[in-house]
Chain A
């Protein structure tokens, strides 16, 4: 029979009662237990024992004895005591060297902030449209247009989708979507009429669109919602915007004040990570009321960029198979057209990245961004390595003592890693906070909507610890190895010097690497700035100053336009008014067509951009007349102006030869004599060549009023323009834009790139300078004696400064030699995006290196001057 107290109760006691009390408490309990066996029997003794033990489970006995011993680990060593010691020493070191610590932490934090932000951005872009079922089978039909040059569009001819659906069985679902851009939606609410201008949120869609894409309907039935004409479904967000809190179902709105729609369903708000921006879907069979040509089954003649066609292929069908049958359409419907179409399938996951077909950001750019992020983290680590290795010298005694007391190399190495880990942890916390603060700016710059959501963003949760780990090991292992490798005897004697910790060259190399990165970024920054200045400030061939562009309201008659023009010109402050299709340089409303010149038998191989405009266009934009005369006022295209490029492409010797010849466009539908030649002007951005252009008066193409105003009275003139315009078109929404701003928008991407590279360059330089500063202050401390002796022996301050300057200027020069070719290569390939571009001159490189020198000198200057000015007696006395 067991005569011991219950084992579990004993265990409980051992866990709970503080060790210094345990022995006699347990002893007393056991003594009583054995006594009770004698008096009350085993059973009740055990019960009493358990009850007594339970009584000990209170805070009084739980509380451990405060340790009076300074080194409790030694009396009671555990697994963690060394690790705790590492952190303690690391913490003390940080507190003792505050400058060093703050340089390290801020450098690392800055690098990691960039790393985190870039990670968020790249991660955001990599997860677009990934929530549709069977997304690997979803494709978009796109077109390559082969003329003398090849152009790419993400659209197909209007009837294409219908024909493909009827002719072939490849597609499980085929859906056409025709966006209606810049339309006005009006909602009648009692007496009040509310107008909404919708840029790109309205589209006509076939019902199957919602079968292909996963945009669930909250209210209404998807099968029937868009089957009737004049029905619409919209997102919750739009419903709220249009109808407030009222139930949107069965509400009505009008499109461009002519077509009425009834809401039959409400979509769940679109997720952020989709490229489909349409929020108001109109039934496709209403399209013919909006644009008969687009709804027609025969309109194979041209491509409108608003018509997109999506398909989900049947399982097992390869896109190549499908592409093989598509040329049949070209043969059937466009046999003679000079503009040869090649229809292709673009996979869904390519849409976000393919710049040819309007992708938002290319994968290359994402890679470049990622690399820059890596570089910045790398520079920050290099900094750390430099400073830590320099600092290692101060720790030689500690290392010596530790080694004598029996530390292994591995333990010393891990000690240093733990120390680095502490700094990295501090830095990453700081970096997270700063990233959080900077995220709104990032969203603003990139026009993205990144939100930090720890649950959805598990990649970030994985990334942060990984980043901390990688940085810790990358930054910590080299100095760790150096530290652990000290010979204990030399270390204790304090005889370790710069030479012993070797690696001075390694550190120099790292600094060179750092500065090479900074200089590549600086050169990039200078080149982009130059190109931007060149693009926006050089002569475009026309005058873009002080011109306001106003919209021509839809269905304005010739008379309306004339009346409005007259009314505008009566406003004081308005100088001239022209009504036109678009400004001379413009990406909107461009109509390219193949011209037929004089009595030549065939259409020309090149395409011509048609710019519809009235007689005021040429004088107002100050286009130069090279030959002939300006247009006469007219209400239809009877006469043409062409530009010099047009005459050159025709192969004529002098521009004057075209005067009086007949030009016919659009299969002879538009025909007229050429009456004048204007000098070349940039009709697109500097990315593109100057096109052949013709100008004719064609009121049905007019889309803008260009108003030249007096810049002295801008405010009142703009107000008057708005009043006049709105009085004429009460149902339309007014907006305006200055022409120079519009032209500035051509370079939005470059502007963003500039901002980015500016910030990256600044950060890289800053981090680099932190490192340099740390290195120089260390050098100054090391060379205190040397400087003292030199001064005593009569060295001048200049000569002493030279010791420092020599060191870093050599490093910067080597860095420049590395950086220049890389930058040259990178920037010349970037400049290839521009047809009109600046030269990569010597000046750019010279200013980069001078700039770097200047910044480096400012960083180093203070410390080295202080070192040079120091009293030599003091320096020599320190022992």
Chain B
């Protein structure tokens, strides 16, 4: 399979789903993303990203049971797939490799 790359926002959403203690669905993810990044984000952007990640195979989703709240509409719970986990790890690895490759003196300079 051709490897799909993750965009910055996609990475954040994926991490949020991964970090979520309970089962994650649209509203919780949306709130967490705003909270974590401190940016104001529309719900549609989050939804679009979630569905796109699902298409790419990084997320899987499952419709929950019907409840009385929200007009009886079911929630769609998202969870990381193996591919999703691997993708996050890959990114992490690349980053830390790069971090380590930074010569010690340079970093102070930049700072």
Residues of A within 8 A of B (CB): 21, 23-32, 34-35, 51-52, 55-56, 58, 60-61
Contact = CB atoms under 8 A, between A and B. Distances in A.
Interface stretch (B3-11, B39-47, B83-91, B94-102): B39-47
Given A21-B51, A60-B48, A61-B48, A28 B74 contact: no
B105 interface: no
Interface residues of B, number: 20
Question: Which of B42, B44, B52, B76 is most buried by chain A, counting CB atoms within 10 A of its CB?
Answer: B44
B70 interface: yes
Nearest to B45: A55
B75 interface: yes
Contacts of A27: 26, 70-71, 73-75
B63 interface: yes
Given A23-B74, A30-B70, A55 B44 contact: yes
B44 A28 contact: no
Contacts of A23: 63, 73-74, 76
Nearest to B64: A24
A52 B69 CA distance: 20
Given A21-B51, A25-B26, A28-B26, A55 B43 contact: yes
Contacts of A51: 42
A329 B82 CA distance: 113
Nearest to B31: A32
Contacts of B25: 24, 28
Given A28-B47, A28-B75, 5 more contacts: A21-B47, A28-B70, A52-B42, A58-B48, A60-B51
A342 to B, nearest CB: 90
A25 B71 contact: no
B27 interface: yes
10 contacts: A24-B73, A27-B73, A30-B73, A31-B27, A51-B42, A52-B43, A55-B43, A56-B47, A58-B44, A60-B51
A25 B47 contact: yes
Interface string B12-26: 000000000000011
Contact of A24 (B44, B48, B76): B76
Contacts of A26: 71, 73
Given A23-B73, A60-B48, A28 B42 contact: no
A30 B71 contact: yes
Given A31-B69, A32-B27, A24 B74 contact: yes
B58 interface: no
A317 B26 CA distance: 87
Contacts of A29: 43
Contact of A32 (B43, B52, B71): B43
A24 B43 contact: no
Interface string B32-75: 00000000001111011001100000000001000001110111
Nearest to A10: B71
Contact of B44 (A31, A34, A61): A61
A66 to B, nearest CB: 11
Nearest to A5: B71
Given A30-B71, A30-B73, A24 B42 contact: no
Contacts of B70: 27-28, 30-31, 34
Nearest to A35: B27
Contacts of B76: 23-24
A45 to B, nearest CB: 13
A440 B78 CA distance: 69
A550 to B, nearest CB: 88
A56 B44 contact: yes
Contacts of B45: 55
Contacts of A52: 42-44
A637 B47 CA distance: 111
Contacts of B69: 31, 34
A24 B71 contact: no
Contacts of A31: 27, 69-70
A68 to B, nearest CB: 13
Contacts of A24: 25-26, 63, 73-76
Contacts of A58: 44, 48
A27 B47 CA distance: 12
Given A21-B51, A61-B48, A28 B43 contact: yes
Contacts of A25: 26, 47
Contacts of B42: 51-52, 55
A516 B57 CA distance: 71
A51 B43 CA distance: 10
A31 B29 CA distance: 13
Nearest to A51: B42
B77 to A, nearest CB: 9
A52 B71 CA distance: 18
A43 to B, nearest CB: 19
A486 B68 CA distance: 54
A34 B71 CA distance: 11
A613 B73 CA distance: 108
A27 B63 CA distance: 12
A209 to B, nearest CB: 75
Contact of B27 (A21, A28, A55, A56): A28
A26 B69 CA distance: 12
A28 B27 CA distance: 6
A34 B68 CA distance: 13
A60 B51 CA distance: 10
